[in-house]
Amino acid sequence: TQLLEQSPQFLSIQEGENLTVYCNSSSVFSSLQWYRQEPGEGPVLLVTVVTGGEVKKLKRLTFQFGDARKDSSLHITAAQPGDTGLYLCAGAREVGNTPLVFGKGTRLSVIA
């Protein structure tokens, strides 16, 4: 059973379009992180959200943590080819130095 479900699994869009990817769970997380991974490389941390209802913006990327801290979304405005990659959400079940639980990811392809 996958604790964190990400959707969609694959997404192919044209440059300039907007998109949203989702990360859902029936479990509560103390924090949730979003990573982007490119082929042959390790995941790179984009953002961490901690408070229920929290919204964080990183240039054209907007991250939201659900009120109940069970789900999150990533919205990209005016996607660019450089946004192409695997987007992973990861949750921490407890506060502290604990392992992360990862979703399987959304593979995004932005076509010029």
Partner 1 sequence: DSGVTQTPKHLITATGQRVTLRCSPRSGDLSVYWYQQSLDQGLQFLIQYYNGEERAKGNILERFSAQQFPDLHSELNLSSLELGDSALYFCASSGPLRGGINEQFFGPGTRLTVL
List residues near partner 1 by CB under 8 A.
2, 30-31, 33, 35, 40-45, 48, 50, 88, 90, 92, 95-105
Nearer to partner 1, 75 or 104 (CB): 104
Give the shortest CB-78-to-partner 1 separation in angstroms.
27
Sheet architecture: strand order including 5-7 = 5-7, 19-24, 71-76, 61-65, 55-58
CA dihedral angle for residue 4, residue 8, residue 34, residue 17, rounded to 10 degrees: -160
For residue 82, the minimal CB distance to partner 1 (Å) is 18
Residues pairing with 57 in the sheet: 62
Min dist. Cβ of residue 76 to partner 1 (A): 21
